Amino acid sequence: GNTTSANFSNLGNLEAHRDKQKDRLELRLTWPGTDLQPQHWYQRSNPFVTRSRGVTGYKPVSCPHSSSGWGGLQWDGRFAILSGSSSKAEKNKGWWWYAIGSYHEHGG
């Protein structure tokens, strides 16, 4: 992929960025070309390696978007590679808000 693209991600390399002392990933989700503020958080589970829904060790740093079950990134595999509708109440509803690597447009 184009590593200089604003939309570039390297999901297979997330473990290389794990804080070994605190056993967590520090993640940021941005929407280039929009006025949306980024999500910034920590989580213990690696959503690309843990191929099931749900997040462990979620701790927000600055997450201005909390609707639709936001609770960190989880494996999706149905509508997108990853999604953020991962709060305990929403993770099994099949929602895929905050998608990364979506397979099609929402509602499309």
Question: Could you read off the pLDDT of 56-81 as tens digits, one per residue?
Answer: 999 999 999 988 889 999 999 888 99
The first and second tokens of residue 13, run together, are 């390399």
- Here the tokens at position 50 are 């843990």
For every one of its 108 residues, what pLDDT tens digit does the chain have, with 9 covering 90 and above? 677 876 677 888 999 989 999 999 999 999 889 999 999 999 999 999 988 888 999 999 999 998 888 999 999 988 899 999 887 766 667 788 899 988 888 775
Please tell me the pTM assigned to this model.
0.85
**Cβ–Cβ contacts within 10 Å for residue 22, how many?**
12
